[in-house]
């Protein structure tokens, strides 16, 4: 009678259980936030760093009267994706992975109304997809943010994570395709033309620590030992922080800094950023859609790309 080898038995014991993962029901989670949280997030993605009296940036961190007038960046709610009450949203029964090998590969956001600067909200999260890529598992989480009480939808955030070393849990021979994932429908090749606008911004060496104050503290972004063990020379910037910089560039270039002009955002993370590097965001205007690509100036490498749909265009450079 044939027997399994110890190595195969170990793989089986540590394999992802897709049935458990896909059937998992996340509890609804209630959060509250206020102007302080909104302002701290905006500072974490570089607002007012270059010019503390720029009115288009100041409106993201300060209000002059008793009635709050702070405006909320459309990427603000992406912070809520990994928050799960007192836990971590990737702690799912049946999901086996090495936390040091996680890559946040894509982000998609739809904004349904002007985001208030303070609110009590409910987050409803589901596993939107689980895919076997051989050596890598691909997990998609979708979160719907609603106003507590009325249930009015504020936004939807969908995140894709690569769990390296966690694939091989299925017998499917069909290659996985992103064709049905909304964040990738418009990831076409960039035009071979001069960008409509180019915006340059500098990150601070403490940027990851500042941004981490708004979200889950993950050691890859703060602990030099963990970063080196993961193959980086020092802690790296959160991909969502770099996305915040890119969307600020779009807002300043085409919306006169107005966050409410954004209807949806799609992003693919390509490469890491070290805090202290310079980000250059190239943009191409195509109707009400803006293609964007952000590069690290010092290394001349693209770190993310995507598009955003706008409700209105008002050139402001």
User: Measured between alpha carbons, how far is 12 from 5 in angstroms, rounded to an integer?
Assistant: 11
Q: 267 near 243, Cβ under 8 Å? A: yes
Going along the chain from its start, the domains and CATH numbers come out as 7-168+179-310 (3.10.129.10)
262-269/197-202 β-pairing: unpaired
Average pLDDT over residues 177-191: 51
Mean per-residue pLDDT of the chain = 85
Confidence of residue 279 (pLDDT cuts 50, 70, 90): very high
* Tens-place pLDDT, residues 94-108: 998 887 788 889 999
* Tens-place pLDDT, residues 105-160: 999 999 999 999 999 999 999 888 888 888 889 898 999 999 999 999 999 999 99
Query: For tokens 């949806």, what's the residue?
Result: 264
Q: Other C-beta atoms within 10 Å of 79: how many? A: 21
């Amino acid at each position: 009678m044939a027997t399994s080898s110890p190595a195969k038995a170990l793989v089986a014991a540590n394999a992802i259980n897709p049935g458990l993962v896909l059937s998992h029901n996340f509890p609804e989670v209630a959060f509250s936030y206020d102007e302080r949280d909104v302002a701290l997030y905006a500072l974490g993605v570089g607002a007012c760093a270059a010019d503390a009296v720029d009115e288009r940036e100041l409106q993201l961190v300060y209000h002059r009267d008793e009635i709050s007038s702070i405006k909320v960046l459309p990427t603000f709610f992406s912070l809520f994706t990994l928050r799960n009450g007192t836990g971590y949203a990737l702690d799912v029964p049946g999901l086996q992975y090495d936390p040091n090998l996680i890559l946040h590969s894509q982000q998609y956001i739809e904004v349904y109304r002007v985001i208030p600067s303070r609110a009590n909200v409910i987050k409803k999260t589901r596993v939107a997809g689980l895919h076997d890529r051989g050596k890598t598992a691909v997990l998609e989480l979708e979160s719907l943010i609603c106003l507590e009480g009325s249930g009015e939808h504020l936004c939807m955030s969908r995140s894709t994570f690569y769990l390296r070393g966690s694939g091989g849990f299925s017998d499917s021979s069909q290659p996985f395709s992103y064709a049905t994932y909304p964040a990738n429908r418009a990831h076409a090749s960039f035009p071979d033309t001069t960008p409509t606008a180019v915006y340059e911004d500098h990150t601070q060496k403490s940027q990851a620590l500042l941004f981490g104050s708004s979200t889950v503290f993950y050691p890859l972004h703060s602990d030099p030992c963990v970063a080196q063990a993961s193959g980086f020379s020092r802690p790296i910037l959160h991909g969502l922080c770099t996305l915040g910089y890119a969307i600020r560039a779009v807002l300043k270039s085409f919306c006169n800094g107005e966050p409410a002009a954004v209807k949806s955002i799609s992003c693919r993370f390509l490469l890491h950023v070290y805090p202290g590097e310079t980000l250059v965001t190239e943009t191409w205007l195509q109707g009400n859609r803006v293609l964007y690509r952000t590069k690290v100036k010092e290394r001349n490498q693209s770190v993310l790309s995507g598009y955003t749909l706008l409700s209105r265009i008002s050139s402001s450079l």
